Structure 1
Amino acid sequence: MKMAITVLDRLGYTFYTDEDGQSLFPADRFDVRLVTSLEKLPLAVGESLQCVVGVHRLDQQALLDAARFVSGSGALPSQRLLVLTERLQLPVAELRAELGLGGLQPDEVRPFRDKVVMKEHLSRQGIRVPEFAPYSHDAAMALLKKYGKVVVKPRAEAGSMDINIVSGESDLRDVEARLEDRLTDFEVEEFIDGELHHIDSVVEGSRVITATAGHSIHSTTAYLTQDHFWDIEVAPGPLFDRLRAFNDRVIACYPGFSGVTHHEVYVTADGEIVFGEIAARLGGGGIRAGLRARTGIDLVAAMIAAQVGDPLPRPTRWSEQLSGYTLVYVPGLHMTRAVDLDHPWVLEQQVYATPGSAMDPPRAWEQAAAIVTVSGRDEHEVAERLLQVQDEVRSCFEQH
């Protein structure tokens, strides 16, 4: 018998396909009830689709109401609720609990979503985390006096939105005036002076099946000040081994967890690794394409397997090639011709503009004109290729 599942989607149904364009919800296994954004309705085509409902992408309550409705429709109620989008993971977990469905439950999701709960959970188990507190003026001032610089950021946001680095009381007052009554949804923490790295894992029963590591060459807030962001995979070696070992310790703090994780850490000048945050999802940018090229595992397929109760996929290879990706920002520029990068070492090109369109200033890290993932023999070759494709993408845009 086929499994009836409800999929809550903001990405478009074509996102749930493999690199050959085949659906990750084969019709002989699944009856899919899809709740998607109105603007993504044209993408909702496939043999496994039993029903499709579109709602406004910003109306979370409508999304959940629609999911509740379609889950109870059809000959049999849905057996699973699936979601990839990080912002929806906690409300979907609460809906699972309401409907008595398997999968991650609210208490399992909160330590992945709420950065205060997350750091409380990990610090109790001996993980080095930045000193932190739920936001209050007094807590921020105490940390500012102790460290000279702090970070004020949302407890449960994504995409590097609303991150504020504060170096003095006047900066803090400015942040408080701007955020006003939203501050109860923020935390304040010690600023870690280190380089941002990430470890992306496929996990089964709190054990890492496979993982890759990357180095964010630019700040994830680069979209505010510059025209690109680079991330390059960490080559096997001492740093890679230390990142993997730290990641294993953190993953072990989530007993029974199976799925995919995106784990961000800071590596300081003296080599200390400090926890940043962790999410129960695949990383953004070009991480999906890079890990697939390296290991043969599709992270979206792995997330789906975990949520429907299937065994997690195993790596089929360990490529000697490294990967890296760039996000190209072109605010205010018009696209004059389509991007077409004809290089065998381009693993993936995600283009979010069409000829004749203009790009608005990005409001979050992922709001780029294009995201391009490349491969190379080493970090130097990857960097050269990122620069090349970045220039090629920009050549397709000009001032109006």
Structure 2
Amino acid sequence: MTRQRVALLSHVGYDAYRHDDGSPFFPPDEYDITLFARPRDVAQLAPGRVSRSIPMDLHPSGEVAVPLPALVGDLKFDWVVATQERLLLPAARLRETLGVGGMGTEHTLLLRDKVAMKRHFSSCGIRVPEFTPISEPHEAEALLDKFGRIVIKPVLGSSSLDVHIVRDLSELMRLQRQGFASSDRYEAEEFIEGRQFHVDSVVKNGVPVAVSVSQYLDSHESFPLNGQVRSHTIDDGPDLDVLLEFNRTVLGCIDWFSGAAHLEVFLDDRGRPVFCELGGRPGGAGIDTTFRYRHGVSLYFSSILPQIGRPVPDRVRQAPADQPATGWVMIYPPRLGRFDGFDALPRAEWLIQLTTPYRPGELVRRPRQAKDAIAVASVCGKDSREVVDRLAEVKDEMVVSMTPV
């Protein structure tokens, strides 16, 4: 049997590409994997896990430091795979360069570029915030005058990095003097008064096969020391019905898409859905863990399948009847310093994930984006109230040991 040659572009460790039973997403007898990853992930890779590994530096803008075709050289591939947001466009460009199947840049931009996606979904009749592309903050003044509060963000941004909520002209002028943090293109859009949700789906030809609908409980504007970002699945009721229908309508506008989708959506102060953005990839934080718990399928695996010419699953399991609700929390460092370890960590049967990315001796820096957490936890419960209580219990029981520097 000839193994299929896969270029895997990854911004997470290779251990992420496994089923719950530990078996790999890419069985070695079926796939010849070349892993393009951060140097630190390459250094930690156990021998024999992949055919070859090539270090790849990625700028915050999502651009690869060395062009991928130069890294590929004379290697031949049947498929190019990427599951993280900042790697979707590099993967699409590499497919086109190599002439292999899979989603190209035209479709990828609609799931990555915040201006292109709003234009596309607005043309399909989806309500989106009023927006305008800008190259400098002052160009958003007319939008600020109209709405009184706006959001300014990078067009290709991720993990809420360099997002600004502007509430008056003085804040806008301060941002003008300060300048943007990156060379990425930017956009400004009206601030939507209401609640924010994320809807995560396994999608087959624009039709959701499995869906989880969750509400954010915390702001994404800043990530203070000892702060947190939380989310929980919502209970049955009118909000769930509205958001499920909105998700179906949005996905119906991309009937060429299969894989994992992460929809960010608002319910405004009148309960009407407003599109925020749509990613053609799994959500971060505890989303894949909680989705696996509820539906028995990985969003990462569902994202990979269409990229290697295989269909996404038609059937998934239902959430456990006694504890169907889930939630996750990203907990930010209590202070700055050198991380020594945890003096105490929560332990409970309802704790389905606890990830602690820092290692003893590492310097803890001030969080700048959503993923700069000292711990990520996921829990289950009988309903949203119990989930929220358990998320609080996780944070209360976690004791971090740090040395000031």
Specify the TM-score bucket, using the shorter chain as the normaliser: over 0.9
* Identity fraction in percent: 31
Residue 368 of structure 1 is matched in structure 2 by 373
Structure 2 match to 1:292? 292
Residue identity opposite 1:342 in structure 2: R
Distance in structure 1 (CA, Å) of the matches to 2:21 and 2:375: 21
Q: How does 1:1-400 map to 2 (within 5 A)?
A: 1-45=2-46, 47=48, 49-58=50-59, 60-62=64-66, 64-65=68-69, 67-69=71-73, 72-73=74-75, 77-135=76-134, 139-179=139-179, 185-224=185-224, 227-313=227-313, 314-320=315-321, 321-330=324-333, 331-332=335-336, 334-337=339-342, 340-393=345-398, 395-398=399-402, 400=404
Contact 2:148–2:168 (Cα < 8 Å) also in 1:
yes
Q: In 2 relative to 1, CA 245–2 (structure 1 residues): closer, same or farther, beyond 3 Å?
A: same
Residues 253, 230 of structure 1: CA spacing in aligned structure 2 closer, same or farther, 3 A cutoff? Answer: same
Structure 2 unaligned blocks of 5 or more: none
Q: Unpaired segments of 5 or more residues in structure 1? A: none
Relative to structure 1, the CA distance from residue 226 to residue 165 in structure 2 (aligned partners, 3 Å threshold; closer, same or farther) is: farther
Query: 1:95 is matched by which residue type in structure 2?
Result: L
Q: Quote the offset at 1:306 in angstroms.
A: 1.6
CA–CA distance in structure 2, aligned partners of residues 213 and 66 of structure 1: 41
Whether the 8 Å contact between 2:138 and 2:176 is mirrored in structure 1 is: no
1:219 is displaced (CA, Å) by: 1.1
Is the contact between residue 164 and residue 221 of structure 2 (CA under 8 Å) also seen in structure 1? no
What is the alpha-carbon distance in structure 1 between the residues aligned to residue 193 and residue 275 of structure 2? 12
1:141 CA displacement: 1.5
CA distance, structure 1, for counterparts of residue 370 and residue 196 of structure 2: 15
The question of whether the paired residues in 2 share the 8 Å contact of 1:220 and 1:365 is answered with yes
SS at match of 1:223: coil
Tell me the distance in 1 between the aligned counterparts of 2:340 and 2:384: 30
Q: Contact 2:226/2:331 (CA < 8 Å) preserved in 1?
A: no
1:135/1:183 contact within 8 Å kept:
no
Mapped partners of 1:47, 1:138: distance in 2: 54
Aligned CA RMSD, in angstroms, stands at: 2.0
In structure 1, what is the Cα distance between the partners aligned to 2:329 and 2:358? 16
More helix by share: 1
Q: Secondary structure at the match of 1:127?
A: coil
Distance in 2 of aligned mates of 1:188 and 1:169: 14
Query: Is contact 2:199-2:213 (8 Å) kept?
Result: yes
- In the aligned structure 2, how far is the partner of 1:216 from the partner of 1:259? 23
Distance 1:98 1:195 in 2: 42
Q: Distance in 1 between matches of 2:22 and 2:343?
A: 21
1:4–1:32 contact (8 Å) kept in structure 2 = yes
* Secondary structure of the corresponding residue to residue 342 of structure 2: coil
2-structure distance, mates of 1:184, 1:62 = 18
Corresponding pairs, count: 394
**TM-superposed deviation, 1:340:** 4.3
> Are the equivalent residues in 1 in contact too, given 2:33–2:52 (CA < 8 A)?
yes
